[in-house]
């Protein structure tokens, strides 16, 4: 059974703190993604990775960085948390299809981050 796990379901941090969100998948997927989900805005892509040590910016990368040292693990880092980064963070993974690109994305349960 497909499984994507995230390190925390709920997290409360203070402004200026460094925050690490961890994501692990057990499906040997090449692609991993970090999204944030806010009411009325849907899911927005922050960063993604097509391979180990490879990362690319998504649509809203400002204020975030990522790390992918192992195929199964993709970390999202908030260098200095701010209140506007309060959100639901969702990690996803997928395999790649030769002609249509990334295949179905499987999501983790999400981390609800509150920055005070």
Partner 1 sequence: RKEVEQDPGPFNVPEGATVAFNCTYSNSASQSFFWYRQDCRKEPKLLMSVYSSGNEDGRFTAQLNRASQYISLLIRDSKLSDSATYLCVVIRPADYKLSFGAGTTVTVRA
How would you classify the pairing of strands 101-102 and 96-97? antiparallel
Based on CB atoms, which residue is closest to partner 1, 35 or 74? 35
Say how far apart CA 16 and CA 45 lie, in whole Å: 23
| Closest approach of partner 1 to the CB of residue 62, in Å | 17
Based on CB atoms, which residue is closest to partner 1, 16 or 109? 109
Based on CB atoms, which residue is closest to partner 1, 83 or 104? 104
| Interface positions with partner 1 (CB under 8 A) | 35, 40-45, 48, 58, 90, 100-102, 104-110
Burial of 68 (0-12, 13-18, 19+ CB in 10 A): buried
């Amino acid at each position: 059974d497909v499984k994507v796990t995230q390190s925390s379901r709920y997290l409360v941090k203070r402004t200026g703190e460094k925050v690490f969100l961890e994501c692990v998948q057990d499906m040997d997927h090449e692609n991993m993604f970090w999204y944030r989900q806010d009411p009325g805005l849907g899911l927005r892509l922050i960063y993604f990775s097509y391979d180990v040590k490879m990362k690319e910016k998504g649509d809203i990368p400002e204020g975030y960085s990522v790390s992918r040292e192992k195929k199964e693990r993709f970390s999202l880092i908030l260098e200095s948390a701010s209140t506007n980064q309060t959100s639901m963070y969702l990690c996803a993974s997928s395999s790649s299809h030769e002609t249509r690109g990334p295949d179905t994305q499987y999501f983790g349960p999400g981390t609800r981050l509150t920055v005070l």
